[in-house]
Chain A
Amino acid sequence: MVLPDSIRADLAVGLPHAIAQARTRLEQGDAAEVLIALKTLADRKGFDLPIGLGLDLDIEVMSEWPRDLFRRAFRGVWETFGYRRMPEVADFRRHIEDELAERRQALARLETMALRLRTAELREIWDAESRERRAAR
């Protein structure tokens, strides 16, 4: 399907910007901040932090979340705390699951659209080259 030139021009300008914005919204948080937050929660609620690799994995996973989402998740756990153990990654993620998925899907959709546009452009180029070769014979 051939897109009108005006739409293609708009996409050429707007799509990279939209992708950059979507990536910004998925930028990783700060591991140190996550660690401080967990330690604060553990101290406040009277739990021991996990030890060793278990803590490392928790921090690594949660620091991959966008900073604002981690803060939202932490606030959710803090506000609705009802645990008999130290909350785990899944307990935090529950508060931001939809938002995190939506952001990731948005980026995936934009990148898919960019790839499809690029594919369409390449096809047009290859078609033009093929027509030129035939005309030259």
Chain B
Amino acid sequence: MEPEELPARWGVVRAEWMFHPDVGTDELAMLACLATYLDRQGFCWPSQQTLATRLKKSRPWVIKVLNNLVGLGLIERTRRERRDGGLRSCLYRMAPPNMGGAAATPDVPKTDGTQSNGQPSVSACPERDRGCHGGDRNHDQTIQESPSLKGAPEARREKAVPDFQEPARPQSLARPVPTGWAPSAEDLAWAAVAHPGIDAAALTETFRNASIAKGYRYLDFGCAWRGWFANQERWSRENHERRLTTRTPEHPRRDGRTGATRRDLHSKRGGTNRDRAVPRQDGPQPGLAERNGAAADACLERLLARRAGHGAAGFHSG
């Protein structure tokens, strides 16, 4: 990850995890990583690949450790499916802290030693184990809602609030993307410089439609829109690497992301339309039926020839 892409978010590591007899370094690393993705309600949904990348481990390792954590009852995992039946990343919820509290996100003690509900703070670890004061442990910002430097006015006002204070504000300032939203001229200029190979207009339309369709809410639409560029770059790079390592040119392996529009976006960069050979539900892919028809015809011919006594028929064809 490039230094400028480092998000300014953080998570809370509970001392009780370290006191757990079955939590080792692997589990602790995973919990800490998940904690940086938690939203205010204690949920997060990073993909296994994201977790593997962040922790510099393999996906099997991630799966094993997540299974351990689920088995230990430290996280709850819920599978999520898209409307077309494909799998999305799992939804994770941190188990409530083992201190009598009910919230997934710890009720942060104020600096005077009481919680926000006025009760004396109770911790699973000794008082001296606290590494920071209460104001430092407020996690009141949803990770998907990182305000950009030149975003919405609300976001700019929020930036002015010192980090150590509890900002007095509504529960969420995130808003759905308006139907007619368009990036600012500055955003477009940035895109032209930073990602000249991506069609900004097409990506804007995809961003707007997908956000509306899926109910995404953002504090800063421009920042979110920029994030999509980074994702496009990453997906393209990952696909390229995967194709080089695992695919033969005539038989690409598929993954599950909806990629029709992304393919369109990348077509101007010289990528092939099969870079992201993914299922589409919104209509036939160009040439797919013809390709499948040709493959089926060839297969039927080979089968019939084989059954007619030409034993090796078709076994040399590709």
Known A47-B279, A48-B277, A60-B303; contact A84-B87, beta-carbon cutoff 8 A: yes
- Given that A36-B296, A53-B314, A56-B302 are known contacts, is A47 also in contact with B85, CB under 8 Å in the complex? no
Residue of B nearest to A86 (CB): B254
| A2 interfacial by beta-carbon distance below 8 Å | no
Residue in A35, A48, A82 whose beta carbon sits within 8 Å of that of B299 in the complex = A35
Instruction: Give the segment of B143-151, B212-220, B286-294 that binds chain A.
Output: B286-294
Q: Decide: A51 near B279, CB < 8 A? Known: A31-B303, A39-B292.
A: no
Give the distance in Å from the alpha carbon of A53 to the alpha carbon of B278 in the complex. Answer: 22
The answer to whether A35 touches B318, judged by C-beta atoms less than 8 angstroms apart, is no
A60 to B314: give the CA distance in the assembly, Å: 13
Q: Which of B34-42, B221-229, B245-253 contacts A (4 or more CB under 8 A)?
A: B245-253
**CA gap between A59 and B307 in the complex, in Å:** 13
Q: Is B295 an interface residue (CB 8 A)?
A: yes
For chain A, residues 80 to 132, give those with C-beta under 8 angstroms from any C-beta of chain B.
80-86
Q: Which residues of B contact A47 (CB under 8 A)?
A: 254, 279
Residue from the list B81, B85, B288 in contact with A46, Cβ < 8 A:
B288
Size bracket, chain B contacts: 20 to 34
A window 50-94: CB within 8 A of B = 50-53, 55-56, 59-60, 80-86
Given A82-B85, A82-B86, A82-B87, are A31 and B300 neighbors across the interface (CB < 8 Å)? yes
Report the bound CA distance from A32 to B302 in whole Å: 12
With a cutoff of 8 Å between Cβ atoms, the chain A residues found around residue B238 in the complex are: none
Per the bound structure, the CA–CA distance linking A80 and B252 in Å amounts to 24
What residues of B have a CB within 8 angstroms of the CB of A35 in the complex? 296, 299-300, 303
Asked if A15 is at the interface of the complex by the 8 Å CB criterion, the answer is no
Q: Are A46 and B279 in contact (CB under 8 A)?
A: yes
A55 to B306, CA, bound (A): 14
| Known A35-B296, A46-B288, A48-B292; contact A56-B303, beta-carbon cutoff 8 A | yes
Bound complex: CA of A31 vs CA of B295, how far in Å? Answer: 14
Do the beta carbons of A43 and B292 come within 8 Å of each other? yes
Nearest to B259 among chain A residues (CB) is: A46
Question: How many Å lie between the Cα of A133 and that of B173 in the bound state?
Answer: 105
B281 within 8 A of A: yes
* A39-B293, A82-B85, A82-B87 known; A59-B303 Cβ under 8 A: yes
| Known contacts A31-B303, A39-B292; A48 and B252 CB within 8 A of each other | yes
Minimum Cβ distance to chain B for residue A33 (Å): 11
- Nearest chain B CB to A132's CB is how many angstroms away? 51
Q: Which residue in chain B gives the minimum CB-CB distance to A58?
A: B299
Pair A43/B284 contact, Cβ less than 8 Å? yes
Contacts of A60 in B (CB 8 A): 303
Q: Which residue of B lies closest to A79 (CB)?
A: B85
Contact with A along B13-54 (1 / 0, CB 8 A): 000000000000000000000000000000000000000000
Residue ranges of A at the interface with B (Cβ–Cβ < 8 Å): 31-32, 35-36, 38-39, 42-43, 45-53, 55-56, 59-60, 80-86
